[in-house]
Structure 1
Amino acid sequence: MFDHLVHFVEEPEKAIAFLKEKGIAAVEGGVHENRGTYNAVSYFDLSYIELLSTYDKELVRQTQHPKHSFLETVAEEQFTEGFSRIAIRTTDIEGAAKHFKNKGLTIYGPESFSRKRPDGSLVEWQLLYIGDPAGGMELPFIIQWQEEDAERKKELIERKVIQPHPSKAVLSHVTFAVRDLEKKIGQWAEWLKLEAGEVFIDEVLQAKCQSLELQGGRLVFGSPIGEGIVADVLRQRGERPFQVALSSPIKSESFSLFGGIYQIEKI
């Protein structure tokens, strides 16, 4: 299942305020102690956007991170604001490790992590990172939370971390800019065991697109057919996620926020 999208921002507090103006609720998350980072989060059921930042960039640089970790990615990109990576949730992280290893991919982990909430309590999880021998766009990382989904959702609602969005928005999909649509869709569909949709043309993005069906948030890949947003992303920052799409019965709006594009589509 889709778990979350990492959006690196310099000031999560400003992102919370900006999203609120757009009818999207976001709240303070907590601190990743001894790792130099902290976050805010915006939940859509159990799928969420993580607004990740640093309280100590030098600590992030000096800490030895697992290969292909999202913090390694953020540091290598010189803490440039924008969407970075996605995480996929599992209930069998050891089984996932065996699956990717059998596919010929390099794995790092699983490793255990925790974050201190504002009230001092701990959130705990395990992460698995996957390396593509051919290089290119980083694969999603795999997460297994200590709590089961139903228990975690209940607790997040009680803590008002999951709360209603004034726009009634739900997460629809994340869009990635890729150079070779057919190759990337084929690889990710096989590695992640996902079903691919039909190819379509997005005139706004000036891209040929195709989706992978993932519960909690589809993955849409786009390759440029002309000059436009996707071509610009590839030229400026390479293959990566660049847009998150939300569905709302109330409004339709597109806006940029700290290097990422948010598309609210009225349904």
Structure 2
Amino acid sequence: MTIDHLVYATPHLDTTVAVLRDQGIPLTAGGPHVGRGTRNFLAGLGGDTYLEVIGPDPEQPDPAEPRSFGIDELTGPRLVTWAARVSGFPDPELLGPIPMSRRRPDGVLLEWELAFPPGGDGLVPFLIDWHDSPHPAETLEHSVRLVSFRCVHPSPEVIAREVGALGQSLRIDRGDRPGLEAELTTRTGSVILR
């Protein structure tokens, strides 16, 4: 499994960032996604993996299309999906690639491409290729560690097959409600994101 980042989406970005910081997660401003109506904050999770907390950007006008990751429909923060890092996109049918970019607060431009599996339930990762762009984890503090990451689904074999078709793997447990769960350790204790 090559986790690039976990996506924790929220309808109230500043509030969610404050709560996570109180739990010991040192989030750094990532920057706005211009034209998409969102901005993010990031925390390193060790190595080249990071947590992205994303929500509406009050400094941008509402976008013409719904915000990514179902943000406009959320009533609270939720671990909505994950990204697997690739170098080039594999053969399975994917939506994309979609070119993206954002400028870090220090002025460095990050550019990447995304490709999404059909269905888009978030349990199967989307793919990200950073090409020659600096990776966001390079400049993040890494005092938080990703201890475990898993998926719960009523039909784990279906999700395992879809994840495997992308060349990835994931712990998938059988459960009534589909969802993702990540356990993080911070300097002050353990945090579970769902």
TM-score range, shorter chain: 0.7 to 0.9
Please state how far the C-alpha of 1:136 moved relative to its aligned partner: 6.0
Distance 2:61 2:124 in 1: 26
Measured after TM superposition, the shift of residue 55 of structure 1 is 2.1
**Which of the residues 59, 71, 84 maps onto 2:62?**
59
Q: 1:184 to 1:164 in 2, by over 3 A?
A: closer
Change (3 A) 1:58 1:180: farther
Q: How does 1:199-238 map to 2 (within 5 A)?
A: 212=169, 219-224=170-175, 231=176, 234=177
Could you list the runs of 5+ residues in structure 1 that have no partner in the other structure?
102-106, 195-211, 213-218, 225-230, 262-267
Equivalent position of 1:88 in the other structure: 84
- Structure with higher Rg: it is 1
Pair 1:156-2:138 in alignment: yes
Cα root mean square deviation, aligned: 2.9
Letter in 1 for 2:159: K
Q: 1:122 aligns with which of 82, 104, 109?
A: 109
Q: 1:175 corresponds to which residue?
A: 150
Work out whether residues 173 and 220 of structure 1, in 8 Å CA contact, stay in contact via their aligned partners in 2.
no
Cα 1:13–1:147 shift into 2, 3 Å: farther
C-alpha deviation, 1:18, in angstroms: 2.9
Change in Cα spacing, 1:38 to 1:180, as seen in structure 2 (3 Å) is same
Q: Percent identity?
A: 22
* Residue 245 (structure 1) aligned with residue 186 (structure 2): no
Asked if the contact 2:30–2:39 (Cα under 8 Å) also holds between the matched residues in 1, the reply is yes
Look up the SS of the partner of 1:46 in the other structure.
coil
Find the counterpart in structure 1 of residue 30 from structure 2: 29
Q: Deviations over 1:154-182 (max 9, x none)?
A: x833xxxx1142xxx32133222201123
Aligned residue pairs total 190
User: Aligned-pair distance for 1:118?
Assistant: 2.0
CA distance in 1, matches of 2:54, 2:43: 11
Partner Cα distance (1:221, 1:109) in 2: 26
List runs of 5+ in structure 2 lacking aligned partners.
Answer: none
